[in-house]
Amino acid sequence: MTDIDDLRSKFLDLEFDRTGFVIDAEQSAKVAKASGETRAEFTDTTDPNFEACAPILASLASGRRLPIDFPTLGGISMDGGKAVACIKPVRPGIKLTGKTHLHDIYAKSGRSGRMIFLVSRMQLYDDSGEHLATTDSRQVIRERPDK
């Protein structure tokens, strides 16, 4: 059985990926409209306050999902959820840098066995180093009984 405390001590809070992004305004507006958004600041690219919507921020993927030396846990991996913290408006068209680390590792046990949760946190910065947003991606791995 995977030792969760060992994983936490080795991998938490260490940056393992740095990826650059530029959000396209039309793409963000299309995502917002497809989700039923009606506010112009998310759907109208000509709006002076236009900004990237939360789902497009949540869609930004780091170059690596896990640290390069993270062990293979086996089992079935699922997308367990996403979170977005909006600190400042993210304007499309600007250069963004996403710095990713493992924010949390924990396990939950149920009748069907144990599930391991890996929370990857990406912090998004603009070119001047200002922190604009943070996204969490929760990966759930249903552990195989023989692991």
Partner 1 sequence: MTVQTIADVVFGDEITPWQPDTSLQATRSFAEAVGYSGSGRFEDHGKARAQGLPGALVPGIMGMGFLTSMIHRWAPQGKIKFIDTVFRAPVLADHDHTVTAVVTDIDEENGEVVLDLTIQNEQEETRVFGTATVHLPAAS
Question: What character string, x for contact with partner 1 (CB under 8 A) and - otherwise, covers 40-79?
Answer: --x----------xxxx-xx------------------xx
In this complex, which beta carbon is closest to partner 1, that of residue 53 or of residue 116? 53
In this chain, which of 65, 82, 103, 147 binds partner 1, going by CB under 8 A? 82
> H/E/C letters for each residue in the chain?
CCCHHHHHHHHECCEEEEEEEECCHHHHHHHHHHCCCCCHHHHCCCCCCCCCCHHHHHHCCCCCCCCCCCCCCCCEEEEEEEEEEECCCCCCCCEEEEEEEEEEEEEEEECCEEEEEEEEEEEEECCCCCEEEEEEEEEEEECCCCC
Beta carbon of residue 54, minimum distance to partner 1 (angstroms, whole number): 5
Stretch that binds partner 1, among 5-13, 14-22, 26-34, 124-132 (CB under 8 A): 26-34
Question: Which positions touch partner 1 (CB under 8 A)?
Answer: 27-28, 30-39, 42, 53-56, 58-59, 78-86, 136, 138
